[in-house]
Protein backbone atom coordinates (compact mmCIF):
# COMPACT_ATOMS: atom_id res chain seq x y z
CA UNK A 1 0.00 0.00 0.00
CA UNK A 2 1.41 3.38 -1.05
CA UNK A 3 1.54 6.41 1.22
CA UNK A 4 -1.24 8.74 0.04
CA UNK A 5 -0.69 11.42 2.69
CA UNK A 6 0.01 14.90 1.38
CA UNK A 7 1.25 17.91 3.33
CA UNK A 8 0.17 21.23 1.85
CA UNK A 9 0.84 24.61 3.49
CA UNK A 10 1.30 22.99 6.88
CA UNK A 11 -1.95 20.99 6.57
CA UNK A 12 -1.84 17.19 6.46
CA UNK A 13 -4.32 15.52 4.10
CA UNK A 14 -4.86 11.77 4.47
CA UNK A 15 -5.00 11.52 0.67
CA UNK A 16 -5.00 14.07 -2.19
CA UNK A 17 -8.73 13.78 -3.04
CA UNK A 18 -10.91 16.57 -1.63
CA UNK A 19 -14.24 18.15 -2.59
CA UNK A 20 -14.43 21.15 -4.87
CA UNK A 21 -16.86 23.87 -3.80
CA UNK A 22 -20.33 22.97 -5.04
CA UNK A 23 -23.69 21.38 -4.19
CA UNK A 24 -21.98 18.22 -2.92
CA UNK A 25 -20.76 20.30 0.07
CA UNK A 26 -23.73 22.60 0.39
CA UNK A 27 -24.06 22.25 4.18
CA UNK A 28 -22.49 20.68 7.25
CA UNK A 29 -24.30 17.38 6.83
CA UNK A 30 -22.90 16.90 3.32
CA UNK A 31 -19.43 17.78 4.55
CA UNK A 32 -19.83 15.05 7.18
CA UNK A 33 -20.74 12.63 4.38
CA UNK A 34 -17.65 13.67 2.42
CA UNK A 35 -15.41 13.01 5.44
CA UNK A 36 -17.04 9.60 5.98
CA UNK A 37 -16.72 8.95 2.25
CA UNK A 38 -12.95 9.02 2.49
CA UNK A 39 -11.94 12.51 1.34
CA UNK A 40 -8.43 13.59 2.26
CA UNK A 41 -9.68 16.96 3.49
CA UNK A 42 -12.80 19.12 3.43
CA UNK A 43 -13.64 22.22 1.41
CA UNK A 44 -16.99 23.95 1.87
CA UNK A 45 -19.31 25.58 -0.64
CA UNK A 46 -18.52 29.21 -1.36
CA UNK A 47 -20.30 31.76 0.78
CA UNK A 48 -20.79 35.44 0.10
CA UNK A 49 -22.47 38.24 2.05
CA UNK A 50 -25.95 37.14 0.90
CA UNK A 51 -27.53 33.81 -0.01
CA UNK A 52 -27.42 32.97 -3.71
CA UNK A 53 -30.67 33.17 -5.71
CA UNK A 54 -30.23 29.79 -7.41
CA UNK A 55 -32.56 29.52 -10.44
CA UNK A 56 -34.59 26.36 -11.02
CA UNK A 57 -34.10 23.95 -12.64
CA UNK A 58 -30.38 24.37 -12.01
CA UNK A 59 -28.62 21.11 -12.94
CA UNK A 60 -28.76 18.82 -15.98
CA UNK A 61 -26.64 15.82 -16.98
CA UNK A 62 -25.48 15.81 -20.59
CA UNK A 63 -23.36 13.40 -22.59
CA UNK A 64 -19.82 13.69 -21.32
CA UNK A 65 -20.58 16.22 -18.63
CA UNK A 66 -22.95 18.34 -16.65
CA UNK A 67 -24.33 21.84 -16.96
CA UNK A 68 -25.58 23.87 -14.04
CA UNK A 69 -26.65 27.33 -12.98
CA UNK A 70 -25.19 26.89 -9.49
CA UNK A 71 -23.92 30.06 -7.88
CA UNK A 72 -22.49 30.40 -4.38
CA UNK A 73 -24.22 29.00 -1.30
CA UNK A 74 -28.00 29.27 -1.22
CA UNK A 75 -27.68 29.42 2.58
CA UNK A 76 -27.03 32.86 4.09
CA UNK A 77 -23.64 33.32 5.79
CA UNK A 78 -25.40 33.63 9.15
CA UNK A 79 -26.58 30.03 8.80
CA UNK A 80 -23.06 28.81 8.12
CA UNK A 81 -21.67 30.76 11.07
CA UNK A 82 -24.42 29.60 13.43
CA UNK A 83 -24.54 25.91 12.46
CA UNK A 84 -22.93 24.51 9.34
CA UNK A 85 -19.28 25.30 10.08
CA UNK A 86 -19.58 23.73 13.53
CA UNK A 87 -20.73 20.48 11.92
CA UNK A 88 -17.97 20.65 9.30
CA UNK A 89 -15.27 21.43 11.86
CA UNK A 90 -16.34 18.53 14.07
CA UNK A 91 -16.31 16.17 11.07
CA UNK A 92 -12.84 17.35 10.06
CA UNK A 93 -11.47 16.96 13.59
CA UNK A 94 -12.93 13.47 14.00
CA UNK A 95 -11.36 12.39 10.71
CA UNK A 96 -8.08 14.20 11.42
CA UNK A 97 -8.25 16.23 8.21
CA UNK A 98 -8.16 19.97 7.37
CA UNK A 99 -11.13 22.22 6.61
CA UNK A 100 -10.75 24.82 3.85
CA UNK A 101 -13.51 27.43 3.68
CA UNK A 102 -14.43 28.94 0.31
CA UNK A 103 -15.47 32.60 0.28
CA UNK A 104 -16.13 35.26 -2.38
CA UNK A 105 -16.11 37.50 -4.18
CA UNK A 106 -14.94 41.12 -3.96
CA UNK A 107 -12.32 42.47 -1.60
CA UNK A 108 -15.05 44.28 0.33
CA UNK A 109 -17.13 41.10 0.73
CA UNK A 110 -14.10 39.05 1.74
CA UNK A 111 -12.99 41.68 4.25
CA UNK A 112 -16.46 41.52 5.80
CA UNK A 113 -16.64 37.72 5.98
CA UNK A 114 -13.10 36.44 6.51
CA UNK A 115 -12.57 37.59 10.12
CA UNK A 116 -15.72 35.71 11.15
CA UNK A 117 -14.29 32.42 9.83
CA UNK A 118 -11.37 32.23 12.28
CA UNK A 119 -12.90 29.57 14.60
CA UNK A 120 -13.25 27.03 11.78
CA UNK A 121 -10.88 27.68 8.86
CA UNK A 122 -7.55 25.93 8.41
CA UNK A 123 -7.27 27.81 5.11
CA UNK A 124 -9.37 29.99 2.82
CA UNK A 125 -10.16 29.52 -0.85
CA UNK A 126 -11.05 32.76 -2.62
CA UNK A 127 -13.41 32.39 -5.55
CA UNK A 128 -12.26 34.86 -8.21
CA UNK A 129 -13.52 33.10 -11.31
CA UNK A 130 -15.79 35.95 -12.38
CA UNK A 131 -12.82 38.26 -12.83
CA UNK A 132 -11.36 38.99 -16.24
CA UNK A 133 -7.86 39.86 -17.42
CA UNK A 134 -7.37 42.74 -14.98
CA UNK A 135 -5.60 41.21 -11.94
CA UNK A 136 -6.36 44.09 -9.58
CA UNK A 137 -9.64 42.74 -8.15
CA UNK A 138 -7.92 39.40 -7.45
CA UNK A 139 -4.96 41.15 -5.84
CA UNK A 140 -7.30 43.23 -3.68
CA UNK A 141 -9.22 40.09 -2.65
CA UNK A 142 -6.00 38.34 -1.62
CA UNK A 143 -4.89 41.38 0.38
CA UNK A 144 -8.27 41.55 2.14
CA UNK A 145 -8.11 37.88 3.11
CA UNK A 146 -4.48 38.01 4.26
CA UNK A 147 -5.20 41.13 6.32
CA UNK A 148 -8.24 39.57 7.98
CA UNK A 149 -7.07 36.08 8.88
CA UNK A 150 -3.74 34.40 9.56
CA UNK A 151 -4.28 31.19 7.57
CA UNK A 152 -3.13 30.09 4.09
CA UNK A 153 -5.05 31.69 1.23
CA UNK A 154 -5.67 29.87 -2.05
CA UNK A 155 -7.12 31.55 -5.12
CA UNK A 156 -9.57 29.71 -7.37
CA UNK A 157 -9.20 30.55 -11.04
CA UNK A 158 -10.98 30.06 -14.31
CA UNK A 159 -9.34 30.69 -17.67
CA UNK A 160 -12.39 32.63 -18.88
CA UNK A 161 -10.94 35.92 -20.05
CA UNK A 162 -7.60 35.15 -18.37
CA UNK A 163 -4.15 34.06 -19.45
CA UNK A 164 -3.45 31.44 -16.81
CA UNK A 165 0.30 31.81 -16.47
CA UNK A 166 0.06 35.57 -16.05
CA UNK A 167 -2.83 35.22 -13.59
CA UNK A 168 -0.90 32.67 -11.52
CA UNK A 169 2.14 34.91 -11.38
CA UNK A 170 0.00 37.87 -10.34
CA UNK A 171 -1.58 35.76 -7.59
CA UNK A 172 1.83 34.69 -6.31
CA UNK A 173 3.14 38.26 -6.34
CA UNK A 174 0.05 39.36 -4.41
CA UNK A 175 0.81 36.87 -1.63
CA UNK A 176 -1.44 33.92 -2.48
CA UNK A 177 -0.26 30.72 -0.82
CA UNK A 178 -1.82 28.37 -3.37
CA UNK A 179 -4.05 28.13 -6.45
CA UNK A 180 -7.17 26.11 -7.31
CA UNK A 181 -7.73 25.55 -11.02
CA UNK A 182 -10.23 25.57 -12.49
CA UNK A 183 -13.86 26.42 -12.07
CA UNK A 184 -16.56 25.30 -14.49
CA UNK A 185 -16.56 26.68 -18.04
CA UNK A 186 -19.27 28.65 -19.77
CA UNK A 187 -21.66 30.00 -20.62
CA UNK A 188 -23.09 26.68 -21.79
CA UNK A 189 -26.56 25.81 -23.02
CA UNK A 190 -28.68 22.68 -23.39
CA UNK A 191 -32.11 21.98 -24.85
CA UNK A 192 -34.84 19.50 -23.90
CA UNK A 193 -36.14 18.70 -27.37
CA UNK A 194 -39.12 16.67 -26.10
CA UNK A 195 -40.52 19.74 -24.34
CA UNK A 196 -38.96 22.34 -26.61
CA UNK A 197 -37.47 24.25 -23.68
CA UNK A 198 -33.97 24.85 -22.33
CA UNK A 199 -32.70 22.46 -19.68
CA UNK A 200 -31.99 25.23 -17.19
CA UNK A 201 -33.78 28.17 -15.65
CA UNK A 202 -32.39 31.62 -15.00
CA UNK A 203 -31.47 34.50 -17.26
CA UNK A 204 -30.93 33.25 -20.83
CA UNK A 205 -31.09 29.66 -19.43
CA UNK A 206 -27.30 29.64 -19.59
CA UNK A 207 -25.25 27.39 -17.35
CA UNK A 208 -21.69 26.24 -16.76
CA UNK A 209 -20.03 23.06 -17.99
CA UNK A 210 -18.40 20.59 -15.62
CA UNK A 211 -17.62 16.88 -15.62
CA UNK A 212 -15.43 14.72 -17.89
CA UNK A 213 -15.71 17.02 -20.91
CA UNK A 214 -13.93 19.68 -18.89
CA UNK A 215 -10.88 17.64 -17.90
CA UNK A 216 -8.54 18.28 -20.87
CA UNK A 217 -9.13 22.03 -20.56
CA UNK A 218 -8.61 22.23 -16.81
CA UNK A 219 -5.67 19.83 -16.91
CA UNK A 220 -3.93 22.12 -19.38
CA UNK A 221 -4.47 25.04 -17.01
CA UNK A 222 -2.87 23.16 -14.10
CA UNK A 223 0.03 22.12 -16.35
CA UNK A 224 0.58 25.75 -17.40
CA UNK A 225 0.37 27.13 -13.86
CA UNK A 226 2.77 24.55 -12.45
CA UNK A 227 5.41 25.59 -14.97
CA UNK A 228 5.59 29.18 -13.75
CA UNK A 229 4.88 29.16 -10.00
CA UNK A 230 6.00 26.90 -7.17
CA UNK A 231 2.76 27.25 -5.22
CA UNK A 232 0.60 24.25 -4.27
CA UNK A 233 -2.19 23.65 -6.79
CA UNK A 234 -5.60 22.05 -6.30
CA UNK A 235 -6.48 20.59 -9.70
CA UNK A 236 -10.21 20.68 -10.40
CA UNK A 237 -12.24 19.66 -13.42
CA UNK A 238 -13.72 16.39 -14.64
CA UNK A 239 -12.03 14.07 -12.15
CA UNK A 240 -14.01 10.86 -11.71
CA UNK A 241 -11.35 8.14 -11.34
CA UNK A 242 -7.95 7.48 -9.87
CA UNK A 243 -6.37 7.74 -13.31
CA UNK A 244 -7.90 11.22 -13.78
CA UNK A 245 -6.44 12.29 -10.44
CA UNK A 246 -3.02 10.88 -11.35
CA UNK A 247 -2.98 12.94 -14.55
CA UNK A 248 -3.50 16.11 -12.52
CA UNK A 249 -0.85 15.13 -9.97
CA UNK A 250 1.66 14.37 -12.71
CA UNK A 251 0.82 17.77 -14.21
CA UNK A 252 1.80 19.44 -10.94
CA UNK A 253 -1.25 19.36 -8.65
CA UNK A 254 -0.75 18.63 -4.96
CA UNK A 255 -4.46 17.94 -4.38
CA UNK A 256 -7.43 17.24 -6.65
CA UNK A 257 -10.94 18.63 -6.18
CA UNK A 258 -14.01 16.55 -7.09
CA UNK A 259 -17.56 17.88 -7.47
CA UNK A 260 -19.56 16.53 -10.43
CA UNK A 261 -18.58 12.89 -9.82
CA UNK A 262 -19.85 13.24 -6.24
CA UNK A 263 -23.16 14.72 -7.44
CA UNK A 264 -23.60 11.83 -9.85
CA UNK A 265 -22.25 8.96 -7.68
CA UNK A 266 -22.50 10.13 -4.08
CA UNK A 267 -19.96 11.32 -1.54
CA UNK A 268 -18.38 7.88 -1.24
CA UNK A 269 -16.64 8.63 -4.52
CA UNK A 270 -13.75 10.34 -2.68
CA UNK A 271 -12.59 7.16 -0.99
CA UNK A 272 -13.07 5.19 -4.21
CA UNK A 273 -10.86 7.57 -6.20
CA UNK A 274 -8.22 7.51 -3.43
CA UNK A 275 -8.28 3.69 -3.46
CA UNK A 276 -7.80 3.69 -7.24
CA UNK A 277 -4.79 6.01 -6.88
CA UNK A 278 -3.32 3.65 -4.29
CA UNK A 279 -3.89 0.63 -6.51
CA UNK A 280 -2.27 2.33 -9.52
CA UNK A 281 0.77 3.41 -7.48
CA UNK A 282 1.22 -0.13 -6.15
CA UNK A 283 0.99 -1.63 -9.63
CA UNK A 284 3.59 0.78 -10.97
CA UNK A 285 6.07 0.42 -8.11
CA UNK A 286 5.62 3.79 -6.41
CA UNK A 287 5.69 3.98 -2.63
CA UNK A 288 4.03 7.40 -2.27
CA UNK A 289 1.85 9.81 -4.20
CA UNK A 290 4.56 12.47 -3.86
CA UNK A 291 6.80 10.44 -6.17
CA UNK A 292 4.59 11.20 -9.16
CA UNK A 293 3.80 14.87 -8.46
CA UNK A 294 4.99 17.02 -11.34
CA UNK A 295 6.40 14.00 -13.15
CA UNK A 296 5.18 15.26 -16.54
CA UNK A 297 6.42 18.83 -16.11
CA UNK A 298 9.23 20.31 -18.17
CA UNK A 299 11.71 22.48 -16.32
CA UNK A 300 9.94 25.48 -14.78
CA UNK A 301 9.91 28.51 -17.05
CA UNK A 302 11.67 31.72 -16.13
CA UNK A 303 8.95 34.24 -16.94
CA UNK A 304 9.58 37.99 -16.89
CA UNK A 305 6.51 39.50 -15.29
CA UNK A 306 8.02 42.64 -13.80
Number of Cβ within a 10 Å radius of residue 288 = 13
- The answer to whether residues 253 and 204 touch, using CB atoms and an 8 Å cutoff, is no
Count CA atoms within 13 Å of residue 274 on its CB side. 26
Looking at the predicted structure, is the pLDDT value of residue 305 above 50? no
Show me where the domains of the chain are located.
6-292
Q: Which residues contact 296 (CB under 8 A, 6 or more apart)?
A: 223, 250, 251, 252
Q: Which CATH superfamily is domain 6-292 in?
A: Aldolase class I (3.20.20.70)
Q: Identify which of 143, 102, 106, 87 has the alpha carbon closest to the alpha carbon of residue 19.
A: 102
Give 131-154 pLDDT, tens digit per residue. Answer: 567 788 899 999 999 999 999 999
- Lowest mean pLDDT segment, chosen from 55-59, 142-146, 194-198, 212-216: 55-59
Find the mean pLDDT for residues 184-203.
87
Find the mean pLDDT for residues 171-189.
93
Query: What is the model's pTM?
Result: 0.93
- The answer to whether residues 270 and 17 touch, using CB atoms and an 8 Å cutoff, is yes
Looking at the predicted structure, is the pLDDT value of residue 300 above 70? no
Give 74-104 pLDDT, tens digit per residue. Answer: 999 999 999 999 999 999 999 999 999 999 9
- 23 φ, ψ (degrees, to nearest 5): -65, -20
Find the mean pLDDT for residues 33-39.
98
Q: Which carries the bigger pLDDT value, residue 107 or residue 70?
A: 107
Q: Which residues contact 154 (CB under 8 A, 6 or more apart)?
A: 100, 123, 124, 125, 126, 176, 177, 178, 179, 180, 232, 234
Give 261-291 pLDDT, tens digit per residue. Answer: 999 999 999 999 999 999 999 999 999 999 9
Where does the pLDDT of residue 46 fall: very low under 50, low under 70, confident under 90, or very high at 90 and above?
very high
Using DSSP, state whether 270 is helix, strand or coil: helix
pLDDT at 129: 57
Where does the pLDDT of residue 302 fall: very low under 50, low under 70, confident under 90, or very high at 90 and above?
low
Find the mean pLDDT for residues 113-118.
97
pLDDT at 60: 83
Q: Identify which of 255, 72, 224, 225 has the alpha carbon closest to the alpha carbon of residue 152.
A: 255
Element (H or E) spanning 126, and its range? strand 123-127
Which letter, b or e, does each residue of 94-114 get, where b requires 16 or more Cβ atoms within 10 Å of its Cβ? ebebbbbbbbbbbbebbbbbb
Find the mean pLDDT for residues 54-59.
82
Amino acid sequence: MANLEVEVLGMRFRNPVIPAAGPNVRDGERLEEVARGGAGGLLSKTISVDAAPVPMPHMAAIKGGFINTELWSELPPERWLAKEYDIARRAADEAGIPLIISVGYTAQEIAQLAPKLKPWADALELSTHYLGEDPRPMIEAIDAAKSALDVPVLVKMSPLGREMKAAALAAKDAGADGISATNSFGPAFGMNIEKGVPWLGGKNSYGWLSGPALKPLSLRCVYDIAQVVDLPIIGVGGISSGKDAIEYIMAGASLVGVCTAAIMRGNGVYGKIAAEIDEWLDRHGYSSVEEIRGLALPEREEVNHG
